[in-house]
Chain A
Amino acid sequence: MSKVLMKGNEALGEAAIRAGCVHFFGYPITPQTEVPEYLVKRLPEVGGAFVQAESEVAAVNMIYGAAGVGVKVLTSSSSPGISLMAEGLSYIAACELPCVFINIMRAGPGLGGILPAQSDYWQATKGHGHGDYRIIVLAPSSVQESVNLMLLAFELAETYRIPAMICADGMIGQMMEPVEFPVEGRGAEMRDNDWALTGCEGRKRRIVNSLYLSPEELNAHNLKLKAKFDRIAAKECRFEIYGAQEGAEILVVAFGTMARICKSAIDEVNAEGGKVALFRPITLSPFPYDALRETIHALPEQGRIFDVEMSMGQMLEDVRLANEGAREIEFHGAAGGVVPSPDDVAARLEALASRRDRA
């Protein structure tokens, strides 16, 4: 199939259909509204169901119900809306239900603003709802990667029976790039649904519930969830390394939109003889700690890590965990919808390089 020019939000919607998802529940919020706008037109063409709920709280509980009967289901929102969905997400995670969330991040906290940000990193990776659970979080940095990761999100959600989230920002949602979709879409049927509520005539009934009044049973359930996420962390970490392949002296760590901006800055600095590489986590959860640690240890003793985010430094905490104090870490961040430019990043990189030369 040839390429088509699409907004990130629209491409995410189409990719979900190609992944076999024909059920969407959501509530409008800028800057992700093109996702439901696209799907409300497209889903009837493929025999799907689109419901605009009365609120995000209602939408997430519709996701809970649809996922419980074993169909592929999607919702989409932006930062404040994801906060409202947090309770439902905890219930869904507790019940081990596969489903996919999209967060097209905007600037916070509070109602904040509608411009792009990465300040939901903590929310996405460390906690939305209460309790001991983790979900899979994927961070695309282009429209094409949004499509690829949407297909992967449904695949992983189904394989591990776990919610997955696409965590992008307003810039990726709003920009257009050429994209290609897989020729053959995936089927709407789950590979196995021997846990789903499909009507119990002729078989033992199944229950989807997150209430465990016995502490021993609930402890065992938490241990099971933990073991499952450990398996995911061992197998499903994804990342990209860009820039100086050998002898890098500065390692930039950035994800999503910020990583792309950093690539331009790195190209500029490396063209002038700089030795800068980029480590871009694609799975924010599980975070690729081991791969980042290995990349950090390949830096010279005086090498530096430069973490750049559209936040006040959220992923920075995971970078520190991977670094374990091995190298010095510098940080550059902006929030509120301010997006650091390639020149901002290049200027910091040049300053870091010259400080190293003096040392």
Chain B
Amino acid sequence: MAETEVLMAGFGGQGMLLAGKILAHAAMDSGLEVSWLPSYGPEMRGGTANVIVRISAEPIASPLVSAPRNLIVMNLPSLEKFAATVKPGGVIVVNTSLIPKDPERPDCLVVKLDSRKLAKEAGSERAANFAMLGAFVGAVEPVSPGATEKAMEEEFQGPKAKFVPGNVAAFRAGLAVGKAAKQEAGAS
């Protein structure tokens, strides 16, 4: 993995910025260069929030990208806004809990998961963002799953430590979906 990036987008409060921070933390702990650039602006409650995480073995020049290699979308407005910008050959992770349609990108690997259901089954409905992150890590492997889980432990400490098991379980459920999608794409 020489260099990759992912644009992670959803409603404010769906946890894309936090999931991006976990990914960035895992990349840092893996000895990689990383930048985490959030959208910030006069956003209203329920508005959209996104973050671009770039990961590279070399120092990162621009933290901003014109066309991301990969995309994670939690909601329909994000899919409609960003699906067309992804570079051909990229991975698009789609949250089917809230997105009823497919991205029209036959040139990309589309990984679909009902993140809320998966997270609920894993024991923490609120960890849907980590199920999405798991699917991305499984399909793209920008960092190892182990490094990602360790980053969760390091980020959630003290009173937040109780969230780690649920987050990790949701992450693993998503990871399995991402890995399966990658294998299937490799086989076809």
Contacts and interface: CB of A to CB of B under 8 A. Distances in A.
Interface in B20-74: 21, 24-25, 28, 33-38, 40-42, 60-67
Contact of A5 (B21, B62, B65): B21
Given A174-B37, A174-B40, A176-B35, A341 B64 contact: yes
Given A174-B38, A175-B38, A176-B36, A343 B67 contact: yes
A170 B40 contact: yes
For B35, B40, B60, the residue with the greatest tally of chain A CB atoms inside 10 Å of its CB is B40
B66 A177 contact: no
B116 to A, nearest CB: 27
A3 interface: yes
A263 B28 contact: no
Interface string A104-117: 00000000011100
Interface in A244-270: 260-265, 267
Contacts of B38: 174-175
Contacts of A337: 41
Contact of B35 (A175, A343, A344): A175
Contacts of A339: 64
A343 to B, nearest CB: 4
A263 B25 CA distance: 24
Interface in A329-359: 337, 339, 341-344
Contact of B61 (A170, A177, A260): A260
A61 B34 CA distance: 39
A178 B67 CA distance: 24
Contact of A264 (B24, B25, B37, B61): B61
A171 interface: yes
A3 B61 contact: no
A31 interface: yes
A347 to B, nearest CB: 10
Contacts of A171: 37, 63-64
Contacts of A264: 61-62, 65
B34 A177 contact: yes
B28 A3 contact: yes
B66 A343 contact: yes
Given A5-B24, A267-B61, 13 more contacts: A114-B40, A115-B41, A171-B37, A174-B40, A175-B37, A177-B35, A177-B60, A178-B34, A261-B61, A263-B62, A264-B62, A342-B66, A343-B66
13 contacts: A5-B25, A115-B40, A170-B40, A171-B37, A171-B63, A171-B64, A175-B63, A177-B36, A263-B62, A264-B61, A341-B65, A343-B66, A344-B66
Closest 7 CB pairs of A and B: A263-B61, A264-B62, A343-B66, A176-B36, A264-B61, A261-B62, A341-B66
